[in-house]
């Protein structure tokens, strides 16, 4: 059976991030790789949520505050899955 939370997180990542960072997080001409980069993997979930929410001024990364904290958290949980940290999108607490 498919985990509904996982599917929702995957869909939110696809809608919010994949256009620049690619569906697998490997990056594109529009945005850097985020799935296998040690510096990104080392960031806390809280820091990643801030980046997703507020963007990165001057680097072309828009914030997506309008989607709300729950969906931002889903994006970060799915990113952790892409990073290979766990098959469970709820595996990691905020560091």
pLDDT in tens, 30-61: 999 999 999 999 999 999 999 999 999 999 99
By C-alpha distance, which of 43, 52, 57 is closest to 15?
Answer: 52
At 5, is the pLDDT very low, low, confident or very high (cuts 50, 70, 90)? confident
Placement of tokens 């996982």 in the chain: 6
Question: Which pLDDT value is given to residue 51?
Answer: 97
Mean pLDDT, range 1-6, rounded to an integer = 74
In the structure, what pLDDT confidence band is assigned to residue 28 with cuts at 50, 70 and 90?
Answer: very high
Q: Which two tokens stand for residue 1?
A: 């059976």
pLDDT band at 2 (very low <50, low <70, confident <90, very high): low
């Amino acid at each position: 059976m498919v985990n509904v939370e996982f599917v929702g997180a995957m869909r939110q990542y696809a809608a919010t991030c994949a256009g620049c960072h690619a569906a697998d997080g490997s990056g594109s001409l529009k945005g850097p790789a985020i799935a296998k980069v040690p510096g990104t993997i080392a960031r806390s979930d809280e820091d990643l949520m801030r980046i997703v929410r507020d963007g990165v001024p001057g680097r072309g990364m828009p914030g997506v505050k309008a989607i709300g904290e729950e969906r931002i958290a889903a994006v970060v949980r799915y990113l952790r899955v892409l990073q290979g940290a766990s098959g469970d999108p709820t595996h990691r607490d905020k560091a």
